Amino acid sequence: MSSKVNWNDQGGWGAEGAWGTRDSAGRKLDLARWQARLDQLCAEHHVPGASVAVLVDGAVHELASGVLHSGTGVETTTDSVFQMGSIAKIYTATLVMRLAESGQVELDAPVTDVLPEFSVADPEATGMITIRQLLSHTSGLTCDFNHDSGRGDDCLAAYVEAAKDVALDCPPGSAISYSSVGYNVLGRIVEVVTGKVWDEALQDLLLTPLGLTHTMTLPEEALAFRAAMGHLGEPGQAPDPAPQWDMMPRSAGPYGRVIASAGDLARFAGMHLAGGVGQDGTRVLTEETVSLMQRRAVDCPDKWTVSSDGWGLGWTLYDWNGVEGYGHDGASIGQYGYLRVVPSAGVAVALLTNGGGAREVYAALYRELLAELAGVIMPEPFAPSATPPVIDWTPLVGTYRREGVVITVTERDGSGHALYEFVDGMKDLSKPLEIDLLPVTENAFAGTGVGSAFSTDYTPVIFSTLPNGTRCIYIGMRCGPKTDPADLKPEGERQPVGH
């Protein structure tokens, strides 16, 4: 694979940066060695192209490997931009927190204080959902509500209006359930408070002050740069270019479309590492706000899908055998991104890819990089237990539902099985998935047969219980409450969750 190395030594964060003067003894990167390792991993796992940025001791070091498009052969360079999927949520969260510290929004105020038109299928829950809950994925709002509200500047307003009748995954404040819908509501809040569309507010309040010149939100902006094409294919095989560069509507921006170079992503993380200060000393957040975003807001029953130990206000939180960190993952059509930050070591690593076995590249590269630079021991890959516990399937068997998905759990000769079906607005997304449930613990199972729908290895399937006593299942960090099959009414006739 072709490659390019770029060592951007910016000399550390400036006057207010807390780690520009960190003792860097023993922390110099052997860039040639890591370039060779990146090339090797990408070739081994059929990743067409990748870009890596490592932020250590205030300096950004960038590597690139492979091609942006296997059909054209255009080389990946360190200034190439990739779709980052859900990593966009961190940008939206940071934007909301900047508005909060200026007093323009109140985190614990109901969303309806800012958006009187906001509502969900449960009238009682409508007035209970707060901005803080949206940030921490504890609002109960679902994730996979697919709605194209057009390309106009009113797309977020139209999306929030269209989501009014969407059922909640769980009662507000009761549990975590990963929610892209919630982040679109946050994006709309930004628009109402600032009087600007989300894209403009992000540019004016974050990207421009931080000097992030290789970060954008719209396809027509990406065309000015070397943009990666996503690739799709079967696991273990070389993927082909995706049929489209991006299938998401414009309204997906706040939860899923920020496009950037790996270096810009690392510099954005560096602002958080430096207590809210950009590379040139510009302060965009207070230290208190930065700390609040990293503070645990909720525990995660599913500790495997994104290696998450908990969730803060926007950030995924990690505990690597006592070493704390934060970050976020993201995926769009054939493009995958991974960001990990270790505050105690002043280290951030950003990996952006355009298809293939990206997760395997991430797992191997980050295990080695973070061990060397930050003393982090990452967990072993998620897999069935070598000594599986005996499972009582009786309380687990049944039907679980969230918006767009019905999951039916059955027992077959002492083994568990799940049928994952897409319904409602997602009914044509994929054929039903047949999943065998292999025990990891009494409540956690390694799911087989899912393929690229959630991961390339075993998919975590986690059973839990909501505070109201309702059993639920987590797949892809989404909460699906257990329900009586008689309650599975057509869309628009179902009862709200928790009532």
What backbone torsions phi and psi does residue 416 show, to the nearest 5 degrees? -95, 150
Whole-number Å distance between alpha carbons of 386 and 378: 19
For residue 59, what is the enclosing H or E element? Answer: strand 59-69
Integer CA distances (angstroms), 143 to 1, 163, 285, in order:
37, 11, 28
The three-class DSSP label of residue 13 is coil
Whole-number Å distance between alpha carbons of 188 and 196: 10
Nearest to 259 by CA among 303, 221, 316: 221
Integer CA distances (angstroms), 67 to 327, 415, 494, in order:
26, 44, 48
Q: 345: how many CB neighbours lie within 10 A of its CB?
A: 20
| Contacting residues for 71 by C-beta, under 8 A, at least 6 apart | 229, 241
What backbone torsions phi and psi does residue 11 show, to the nearest 5 degrees? 80, 10
261 given a catalytic annotation? no
Whole-number Å distance between alpha carbons of 333 and 369: 27
CB 269 within 8 A of CB 215: no
Q: Which of 51, 70, 86, 251 is catalytic?
A: 86
User: Long-range contacts made by residues 409-413, C-beta under 8 angstroms, separation at least 24?
Assistant: 409/437, 409/473
Torsion of CA 125, 295, 107, 152, to 10 degrees: -80
Which of the residues are catalytic? 86
